A = this chain, B = another copy of it.
Amino acid sequence: VSDRADRADRSIIVAVDAMGGDDAPEQPVRAAAEVSRGTDIRLVLVGRVEEIEHLLGEQEHERSHIEIVDAREVCGMKEKPRAALDAKPDASIAVAARLLADGKADAMVSAGSTGALVLAAAKHVPMIPGIERSALAAVYPTKKRSSSDDPFALLLDVGATVRCRPRDLLFMAYMGHAYASRISKVARPTIALLNMGSEPTKGDKDLVAAHQFMAEDPRINFIGNVEGNDIPTGGADVIVCEGYVGNVALKMAEGVTEVLRGLGKYAFKRSLLWRAGLMLLAGGLRRLKGVTDYSEYGGAPLLGFRHPIIKAHGRSHARAIGNAIKVAAKASRDGVCEEIEQAVADFERRSQAGQA
């Protein structure tokens, strides 16, 4: 928490993986140029210096807000993350992560490979004491929720983990609470556990234990178990689950929207009316894609580390990466990670006192 007091007196420093994303370094550099002019955020662009300098030369930017750290190598979007990082330990994504570890940046943004980001963070960035599983949170629009005016909800974890123990799931509830209350400004976000039914006894013993942990925790506004349909319909501001389940659910939604977009080709209905309806709806379906393009809205936070890390979508344009940079700076300024750290420390203290 002393870290946060320290940051209050100065600008937040965000490390940007300039080589990550489908259109890098162009889009990350354009994003940094834009942010440098409109905010007091300090940017550290990590990547090939000459390419970054060249691109910066083409944009209006505030040079005093931008530093460049050289990294010659890149983890490609389609490379196998572990092999790529092993082969290229000084890839931009790893160098940016090390800036966090070395105290040279307060937060990090990458539009590179999700797998590489999760691995680079795990390898280089210190985790919050007590947390052993990080979580990638999908930020997605839902139907109007009674609990909040915010159009977006959080689902975590969607792929940083496979399986989780009850305490990992509780800590993910802390992460979701801290992020939703400080970034989405939902004062008292509703938290739910993704399960196979609403009763507290549903699921296996780990899900039952996770339910009990959350139900007994005064820090979070736990509303109980929800089911898969409650993800898109907005059953809670924050829905917690292990990565295997969250990843399948997210990709299931992706697949359903893909099928919808392709419905015109379905053999079983080919009327003109149907086609006309589809054409009219095309714009709407593009909207709906937002349900699955979880990093379109300022990016997907990778939580559990001592510093905010934001994954922007690989296809992000400068504007989306710029949003991610601002969200990362805000998460650092507003002490999201410190709140999670405090919650975990309180839990550990209660556990040791035999109260949890």
- Contacts from A to B (Cβ < 8 Å): 80, 142-144, 151, 159, 162-163, 194-196, 199, 203-204, 207, 227-233, 241, 243-245, 247-260, 262-263, 265-269, 273-274, 276-281, 283-284, 287-288, 291
Contacts and interface: CB of A to CB of B under 8 A. Distances in A.
Nearest to A259: B232
Contacts of A267: 144
Given A228-B248, A229-B255, A245-B245, 18 more contacts: A162-B203, A162-B204, A196-B244, A228-B252, A228-B253, A228-B254, A229-B254, A230-B255, A232-B259, A233-B259, A244-B245, A249-B249, A252-B252, A259-B291, A269-B284, A274-B283, A274-B284, A281-B281
Contacts of A269: 283-284, 287
8 contacts: A144-B265, A144-B267, A163-B204, A196-B243, A228-B249, A228-B254, A231-B252, A259-B291
A71 B3 CA distance: 70
A227 to B, nearest CB: 5
Nearest to A144: B267
Nearest to A82: B201
Question: What is the total number of copies of this protein in its complex?
Answer: 2
A268 B287 contact: yes
Contacts of A259: 142-143, 232-233, 288, 291
B273 A280 contact: yes
A257 to B, nearest CB: 7
Contacts of A255: 228-233
Contact of A291 (B233, B256, B276): B256
Contacts of A268: 151, 287
A41 to B, nearest CB: 29
A209 to B, nearest CB: 13
A251 B229 contact: yes
A238 B229 CA distance: 22
A276 B256 CA distance: 22
Contacts of A151: 268
A229 B262 CA distance: 14
Contact of A277 (B263, B284, B287): B284
Contacts of A229: 251-252, 254-255, 258
Nearest to A273: B280
Contacts of A245: 244-245, 248
A196 B162 contact: yes
Contact of A228 (B163, B250, B266): B250
A258 B232 CA distance: 9
A228 B258 CA distance: 12
Contact of A256 (B241, B243, B253): B253
Contacts of A277: 276-281, 284
A247 to B, nearest CB: 5
B228 A247 contact: yes
Contacts of A248: 194, 196, 227-228, 241, 245, 248-249
A245 B284 CA distance: 29
Given A196-B247, A251-B228, A267-B144, A258 B280 contact: no
B274 A281 contact: yes
Contacts of A143: 259, 262, 266
